[in-house]
Amino acid sequence: MKINYNKFLPLILISVSSFFLGAIFIITNENSPVTREVITAAENIIGLKFTEVQQDTMLGLLNDHLMNYESIRKINLPNNIPPAILFNPIPEGFNAPAGKSSFGLSDYSNTELPKNKNDLAFYSVGQLAYLIKTRQITSVQLANLFIERLKKYGPDLHCIVTLTEDLAMQEAQKADKEIAAGKYRGPLHGIPYGVKDLFDTKFYKTTWGAAPYKDQVIDEDATIIKKLREAGAVLIAKLSMGELAMDDVWFGGLTRNPWDTTQGSSGSSAGSAASVSAGLVPFAIGTETWGSIVSPSTRCSDTGLRPSYGRVSRHGAMALSWSMDKIGPICRNVEDCAIVFNYIYGPDGIDQTLYNYPFSYSPEINLKGMRIGYLDDDFNSPYPFKTNDSLTIIEIKKLGAILVPIKLPDIPVNDIALILDSEAGAAFDELTRSGKDVMLARQGKYNWPNIFRSSRFIPAVEYVNANRIRYLLIQEMEKMLNQNKIDIYLAPSDEGDNSLTTNLTGHPLVVVPNGTTDGIHPASITFVGRLFDEGKILAVAKAYQDATGFHLKHPPLFK
């Protein structure tokens, strides 16, 4: 019996094959049907054993599946086509944020234009916004300043893919005219910024950091580009990323860490983090699937916000994992992250994974008596940031918070990370089948070409069951927060399973610098919050940041 491929298309797209045996057949002998010998060999991969009678019974269906796969592969499925299966991060009994959005800013009225205008390179968005609003400086002047710095330092850091200089001048001139006419759009009006080069931009290449796509032009603007343009922000550069959103190596080389240029900047939001740290842009947009905002922000001593899953539209962004990808700002300080997030969150009528919940932020918060959790086991294990993090915990106590030891749910999150591999394999199915994956710079065991190929042998049953375990993880995370009566907890930025756990559940976090490990190399701490409660973690993280001042330090080579 021939199976109607339309019935199974969404599931096959995500996990690549409903029982993957056909993939072995395709690779070994394209013109032969599946045989019992092929099934026997495949059993060693899936960890199951069938009798000869069971194998014989399966042969007909498996060969039908092969025909289904052939039909599916004739349909053009570019990267921007999502599966019809949408991830739901909402736990049972979830109390969704209610009321209207609200946003308050700190007082920037003491901001003055520096004698050396190059010092503006390390001013915050809030400070620059005040100078523009009061017309002490123009958007064109700012754009020119940062473009000059990009040209001067970008080649050393390997952090620029494309300078959008012509567009920047047009947008800056427009901003200056509007502001002069009394049409001030808010604190991003006239502020230059850069984006990770996986966002579509009209007339400019979108390379995804990978050689097979280095000349790709997608003739539309991503939603986030449109939202920032509406806010009056000025796009000046498309910044490097690890190829196809992994690490810090791209077709242009290794993106460097401004604090130690012998190191990479980490990734995959490599250029976004390096350029903010070096004062080449006031803020940048990054993405995270598993550590790609937290890790480079840590390495480069930036402040990064990874919002809740379902907060920021991914329309026009390269898909790696439809159920895990998130978009967020990388900035100089926490309030800058709040400013940017205030303009980019919310539905766009296109991305169907978005939730229309309010965002409320105020810079004023009292930590006295607030219960804040901390991952006791992780903080007590030996790791590079242990001393820094211990001092952070002491500082949080000084601010009046009650520290509550907690543990993450006892669920094997590393075993269900195959969810990411499966979805990534589907997102880049055509790259694997075309053989162009050999053009990628990195070809090791844990690099994309091998992961994509290996993902074709993940059974759909295991992919679905991994997501069922993920459902349990979501429920257990909510129980843990409720039982401990906490809305926020502290986690090491690069230790334990918090990064993977919260990327699977969709919880938001803010990563902030908390010193260095040796006087040179930055360290960071992570504040994790409840779903869609970005405002509270931003306010708490700001209170810590204001009390410590680590974010005010900048890499000496780029001052």
DSSP 499-558: HHHHHHHT--EEEEEEEESSSSSEEEEEEEE-TT-HHHHHHHHHHHHHHH-GGG---GGG
416-437: pLDDT as tens digits:
999 999 999 999 999 999 999 9
Is pLDDT of 440 > 50? yes
Q: What is the spatial distance between Cα 527 and Cα 454, in angstroms, rounded to a whole number? A: 34
Angle between helices 5-15 and 418-427 (to 10 degrees): 120
Is pLDDT of 11 > 70? no
Task: Please enumerate in sequence order all residues whose Cβ is within 8 A of that of 363, keeping only pairs 6 or more positions apart, or say none.
Answer: 104, 105, 106, 335, 539, 542
Structure tokens at 508: 């938001």
Q: What is the spatial distance between Cα 43 and Cα 50, in angstroms, rounded to a whole number? A: 8
Q: String of b and e for 264-291 (b: at least 16 CB within 10 Å)? A: bbbbbbbbbbbbbbbbbbbbbbbbbbbb
Is pLDDT of 396 > 90? yes
Q: How confident is the model at residue 247 (pLDDT cuts 50, 70, 90)?
A: very high
Q: What is the mean pLDDT of the chain?
A: 94
- Output the CA torsion sign for 274, 277, 281, 285: positive
Q: How confident is the model at residue 32 (pLDDT cuts 50, 70, 90)?
A: low
Cα atoms in the 13 Å half-sphere on the side-chain side of 363: 15
Q: What is the spatial distance between Cα 142 and Cα 197, in angstroms, rounded to a whole number? A: 22
Is pLDDT of 28 > 60? no
Give the pLDDT of residue 13: 36
CA 144 from centre of chain:
29
User: Global pTM?
Assistant: 0.93
Identify the residue with better confidence: 102 or 27: 102
CA 194 from centre of chain:
15
110-124: pLDDT as tens digits:
999 999 999 999 999
Q: What is the spatial distance between Cα 287 and Cα 224, in angstroms, rounded to a whole number? A: 12
Residues designated as active site: 196, 268, 292
Is pLDDT of 153 > 50? yes
Mean pLDDT of 3-15: 38
